[in-house]
Amino acid sequence: MTDFTQLGVKAIRDGVAGGDFTAREVAEAFNAAVAEAAELNAFIVTTPDHALAAADATDAKRAKGEPLGKMGGVPIGMKDLFATKGVQTTAASHILEGFDPEYESTVSQNLWDAGAGMLGKLNLDQFAMGSSNETSYFGNVNSPWKKEGTNAAMSPGGSSGGSSSAVAARIAPAATGTDTGGSIRQPAAFTGICGIKPTYGRCSRWGVVAFASSLDQAGPMARSIEDCAIMLEAMAGFDPKDSTSLDMPVPEWEAGLNADLKGKKVGIPREYMMDGTDEAILKSWEQGKEWLRDAGAEIVDISLPHTKYALPAYYIVAPAEASSNLARYDGVRYGLRDLPDGAGLQDMYAATRAAGFGDEVKRRILIGTYVLSAGFYDAYYNQAQKVRALVARDFENAWAECDVILAPTTPTPSFPLGSLNEDPLTMYLNDVFAVPASLAGLPAMSVPAMMTDDGLPLGLQLVGKPFDEQGVLNAGLAIQQRANFTAQPEKWW
């Protein structure tokens, strides 16, 4: 009998379309796997009925000979940052607990229209702020991976840690993620899966709980390049409800996949060679160059001179936008309300926000408010915006010399939960390689490369020109074919 949970997006879609099995069988298998995996804490709520209803709709269409859609019969996990009509949407915060949106986000609606169903809402770092999935109000997410010889609970990365954990553990064939400064790529790298952040504007932000609006982008997380291409096609598209949405047709990324890189130049940014980068990561980067050379590409050295300023600039721009976006949670409009006896309106705002936001979120609001305050605006926020422009210009210059950039996704492999949260700066360093592409709005992905000697996955990052998701996916495919990454976590949950 087929173990449906081993199948990815393409295998499920094609198997259902070809009549090898029904969408209902697949949904039932994943619903059962989700129910068994409570120890991972990957889901905040599960929605087995949603997955079954979508599956039945697909099976009914097939019986009538109607087209099944790009994601027909595929049940997925939905990061709990996407508003889902009638299904609690919390951004992993207490302040939004009990918030059942009246509307569906554009990206989730696109996925349902393409025939996908929902297994549940996935845990994440609170308001997508974090790199380890330890800031959720609903508890840490556990990675399905263990470091060899230890039983320590490992981080699945963040903020899309529920997504990465679920896909790596094979309790979901794919999941949505969002990436503001690495939150798709870093968790994908930590768990041995693929994840792509498309060009800023490809996926509508409408109905996605806002963190830093000029950076936030949705994207797919799945176990192969093909699955990411399929799911991104279903998610992307112009949306008049998002003023920064790209008014461009969605390319046929799946059909366009081609791992022959003859004539392509791959840039290796010398500034990404940083102190403190793990030996194993450097080794995987070297190996990545070999693989791409083998696929026909020419490897060229490039310079992105402002790289070291990207992370500090990000930690000004992102909190600034967050402090403004999070002003809307006031105890009046959504979720939690804390109204002390005899309190006035201002007291209610203060009490609600004090009780409703976690420490990391408060830290970001404080930093953001500070850098935007009249006396410091020029010194911090304006300066960071200028740095952002310089980081973007570095990439523009680099495209004169190469077609795609290869770099590590993260400076280290996954770490034990609890090991970094005393030190926010070390935690922030997780995104040092991810943030430059975010500031520049470029498509970027992580693809699994190899395992460390102690049994943890490592990812490689590909960054592309604006709108060139295809180039990123194709280079990713070349790596996938050569890395032959088949490792799976041993089931302990």
Which spans of this chain sit near ligand GLN (rule: CB under 6 A)? Answer: 128-131, 158-159, 179-183, 211, 318, 431
Positive or negative: CA dihedral 363, 419, 191, 268: positive
Smaller CB distance to ligand GLN: residue 398 or 437? 437
Smaller CB distance to ligand GLN: residue 318 or 450? 318
Q: How far is the CB of 157 from ligand GLN (least distance, A)?
A: 9
Task: Determine the Cα–Cα distance for residues 219 and 41; give it in Å rounded to an integer.
Answer: 22
Question: Is 224 tagged catalytic?
Answer: no
Q: How far is the CB of 273 from ligand GLN (least distance, A)?
A: 22
Residue nearest to ligand GLN (CB): 183
Task: Determine the Cα–Cα distance for residues 163 and 156; give it in Å rounded to an integer.
Answer: 9
Smaller CB distance to ligand GLN: residue 48 or 77? 77
Smaller CB distance to ligand GLN: residue 11 or 92? 92
Question: Is 159 tagged catalytic?
Answer: yes
Choose, from 163, 183, 245, 323, the residue flagged as catalytic. Answer: 183
Smaller CB distance to ligand GLN: residue 129 or 229? 129
Question: Is 183 tagged catalytic?
Answer: yes
Choose, from 93, 108, 159, 323, the residue flagged as catalytic. Answer: 159
Q: How far is the CB of 350 from ligand GLN (least distance, A)?
A: 25
Smaller CB distance to ligand GLN: residue 183 or 224? 183
Q: How far is the CB of 21 from ligand GLN (least distance, A)?
A: 36
Residues pairing with 407 in the sheet: 461
Q: How far is the CB of 156 from ligand GLN (least distance, A)?
A: 13
Contact 6, 224 (CB under 8 A): no
Q: How far is the CB of 462 from ligand GLN (least distance, A)?
A: 17
Looking at the chain, how many residues does it have?
493
Choose, from 10, 61, 70, 79, the residue flagged as catalytic. Answer: 79
Smaller CB distance to ligand GLN: residue 182 or 288? 182
Q: How far is the CB of 90 from ligand GLN (least distance, A)?
A: 15
Q: How far is the CB of 129 from ligand GLN (least distance, A)?
A: 5
In the chain, how long is the greatest CA-to-CA distance? 72
Smaller CB distance to ligand GLN: residue 295 or 387? 387
Task: Determine the Cα–Cα distance for residues 25 and 162; give it in Å rounded to an integer.
Answer: 24
Task: Determine the Cα–Cα distance for residues 219 and 255; give it in Å rounded to an integer.
Answer: 18
Residues with a catalytic annotation lie at: 79, 159, 183
